[in-house]
Amino acid sequence: MKLDIDYKKDKIILKNAKDFIPRHIFECGQCFRWNENQDSSFTGVAHNRVISVQKLDKDIIIENSTREDFENIWIKYFDLGTDYGIIKNKISQDDEVMQKAIEFGKGIRILRQEPWETLVSFIISANNNIPRIKKTIELLAGAYGEYLGEFHGEKRYGFPTARVLSQLSIEELKACNLGYRAAYIQKTASMLDMEPTELDEIARLDIVNCKKNLLKYQGVGPKVAHCVLFFCMGKMQAFPVDVWVKRVMEYFYFHREASPKEIQEFAWEKFGKYAGYAQQYLFYYARELGIGKG
């Protein structure tokens, strides 16, 4: 996708940005460190950087970014090289449900996130709700992450490293609202502290072996594994099945109870290599409108 960019001091203007609505991106359940400000911009922390993102008319304004960071970090992070028009057309062909889901979440882009933070975040997400997940991650970052400075009147912190978390006691981790997940995080952090490049090596495997390797980490089941596969390991056919996706798939496509495995196989056959994108549109559509609930 050709980008029309205006570089200002500490600010990037992405002109006539297509398929980019901050609220859709940051509230569709794929990330947990972005929060809306009073002016409808969103401030977030990723890759040990703090930026704010705002849509003004047809433009996207990225504040607190250098040109170097934009080109080396944010183009990839916001998946700006992907033409979402092609994906939308492919997965919505002859599918009225998907057409409605895409229209509802038309500004979603899939963030290319950092593997370690994504793994921990989705371990925390299991059997949890988004406000609590976000609070827990901020407690971890505030207590044990690198201080990144003050931005918009708040102190900002990076995500703590595997080495730092591996050295904490279960009690220290539980103090960050981790509950029973504290033991999972400590064990997984210890494994990755000893093998710091392992997640990058896993990401280079095919989806079957990638998933198999992810399942060895404490707290990682099939749903969490598929989230990691999709949100940071480039396996765009991964199809996480949580309660909302299960409901919407049963409600619109099966008209009966269906197992996660059955749903995934149906999705792979129907949506092919873009199954993960279809899942994200369906998840946001179902959760926001309460489709299939009850």
Which pLDDT does position 158 carry in this prediction?
98
81 contact partners, CB below 8 Å, separation of at least 6:
1, 75
Share of the chain above pLDDT 70, in %: 99
Q: Write down how long the chain is.
A: 294
How many CA atoms lie within 13 Å of 191's alpha carbon, on the beta-carbon side?
Answer: 18
Mean pLDDT of 197-223: 97
This model's pTM is above 0.75: yes
Cα separations in angstroms, 28 against 23, 105, 168, 196, 228: 8, 8, 31, 30, 15
| Tens of pLDDT, residues 158-179 | 999 999 999 999 999 999 999 9
Which pLDDT does position 193 carry in this prediction?
97
Say yes or no to pLDDT of 137 above 70: yes
Which pLDDT does position 244 carry in this prediction?
87
Which pLDDT does position 250 carry in this prediction?
95
Decide if 30 contacts 280 (C-beta within 8 A). Answer: yes
Say yes or no to pLDDT of 249 above 70: yes
Residue 208 phi, psi (nearest 5):
-65, -50
Instruction: Single out the residue of 47, 49, 52 nearest to residue 34, CA to CA.
Output: 52
Dist CA 129 CA 123 (whole Å):
12
142 CB-contact burial (10 Å; exposed 0-12 / middle 13-18 / buried 19+): middle
Mean pLDDT of 25-45: 97
DSSP 8-state class, residue 257 = -
**What are 26's two structure tokens?**
């940051």
- For residues 290 and 25, the model is more confident at 25
Say yes or no to pLDDT of 10 above 90: no
Residue 120: count of CB within 10 angstroms of its CB: 27
Say yes or no to pLDDT of 232 above 80: yes
Which pLDDT does position 293 carry in this prediction?
67
Q: Are strands 34-36 and 147-151 parallel, antiparallel or unpaired?
A: unpaired
